[in-house]
Amino acid sequence: MSWIYWDVSVALKDGMACWPGDPAPRIEQVAFMDQGSVCNVTKLHMSAHTATHMDAPRHFINEGVGIDQMPFDSVIGKARVVEIHDPVAIRRAELEGLDLKAGERILFKTRNSSYAWEQPEFFKDFVYIADEGAQYLVERGVKTVGVDYLSIGGFYHDTVETHVTILGAGIAVIEGLNLSEVEAGEYELICLPLKIAGADGAPARVVLRRPV
């Protein structure tokens, strides 16, 4: 079978925007073949929550499991991209119209995909999941949620509440997607976070695919 792939990951770059207070991403070449080294080597310095990444339960739940313990089933398999029109938050009222099913993997495409990622600095007014929306996602029993900027919770509102609601319910969290090139609909999701022992999160490469 052949497939069309969409890379919905955001490239890690030196100096890119990150959550205020997290270490600024530094991606620095430290050995140069141009200068006589036998190879090129790059050094990485950043938080586990840089660019496209996953949150592990222990990010907001101290006794929760680390990213290396997350089940593959949460991040490989059928997924649905849904478009959110609310320019501020993902709320229950709009979610109710989506016919969400237990066990679904849902990726939210908001105005963030085409707007927030274009801002050179951290964009504080990104569309986030309101805690009342998060509670509805838990009620519906979704398996995985993906959002198209750096956090499921907002910068001004529901930062902690939304994370605790979603991570506390065992829902897998993918943050920092760029869905600007994909339309709403069904895809197969493949998302593999780096296996960092016991970590509260990890960068991930995320692709969507459909059979040709």
- Which residues of the shown chain bind Zn ion in the complex (CB under 5 A)? 49, 55, 175, 201
- Identify the residue whose tokens are 């073949």: 33
Residue closer to Zn ion by CB (options 185, 198) is 198
Q: Let me know: does 125 contact 165? Beta carbons within 8 Å.
A: no
Residue closer to Zn ion by CB (options 146, 201) is 201
Give strand pairing partners of 83. 109
Whole-angstrom Cα distance, residue 187 to residue 111?
20
Q: Let me know: does 122 contact 19? Beta carbons within 8 Å.
A: yes
**Closest separation between CB of residue 112 and Zn ion, Å?**
14
* DSSP β-ladder status, 89-90 and 128-129: parallel
Residue closer to Zn ion by CB (options 55, 131) is 55
**Closest separation between CB of residue 134 and Zn ion, Å?**
14
- Identify the residue whose tokens are 């490989």: 76
**Closest separation between CB of residue 127 and Zn ion, Å?**
16
- Identify the residue whose tokens are 């910068």: 155
**Closest separation between CB of residue 48 and Zn ion, Å?**
7
Q: Determine the length of the chain.
A: 212
59 a catalytic residue: yes
Q: Which of 59, 85, 157, 163 does the annotation list as catalytic?
A: 59
Residue closer to Zn ion by CB (options 68, 188) is 68
Residue nearest to Zn ion (CB): 49
Whole-angstrom Cα distance, residue 135 to residue 152?
13
Catalytic residue positions? 59
